[in-house]
Amino acid sequence: MTTMSTTATAQPRSEGWFSNSERWLDEKGKGAWIAAMVLGFIFFWPVGLALLFYMIWSKRMFNKSCSSRRMSTTMTTMRPTGNAAFDAYKSDTLRRLEDEQHNFEVFLERLREAKDKSEFDQFMDERAKAAKTED
């Protein structure tokens, strides 16, 4: 009695050089994509242009933004720990920090507006002085 056993050997699928290059650049990060694009522009500009279009089309330029990182951080910080005292402290602290951030952003906006106004007033004064000297 003979038994044949067939074992499926998982062989890596043969991928093309483009897929391998794409995977390698993805592992290295956005900086590697930008470096490849710059080198493409330096050595043969159509290659750099093609890489730029590919990066925009495939959304590789915008896939890891600060907002997505901030959103994931916010989602993990809002998850309850099970300790009621700590959760209350954490929510109070987060609310206080958000209020401070909002107040600071309002302060910066007022500061920008004051700077813009002073620059505009200075421009108008210089313009008025120039008009008086012409008369």
- The torsion angles phi and psi of 10, rounded to 5 degrees, stand at -80, 105
How many C-beta atoms surround the C-beta of residue 55 within 10 A? Answer: 19
Instruction: Give the pLDDT confidence score for residue 60 in this predicted structure.
Output: 66
Q: What is the mean pLDDT of the chain?
A: 78
Angstrom distance (rounded) from CA 59 to CA 53: 10
pTM of the model: 0.38
Structure-token pair, residue 92 = 């109070």
Angle (CA) 39 44 46, round 5°: 105
Model confidence pLDDT, tens digit, residues 74-132: 556 678 888 899 989 999 999 999 999 999 999 999 999 999 999 999 999 999 998 88
Joined tokens for residue 104? 């600071």
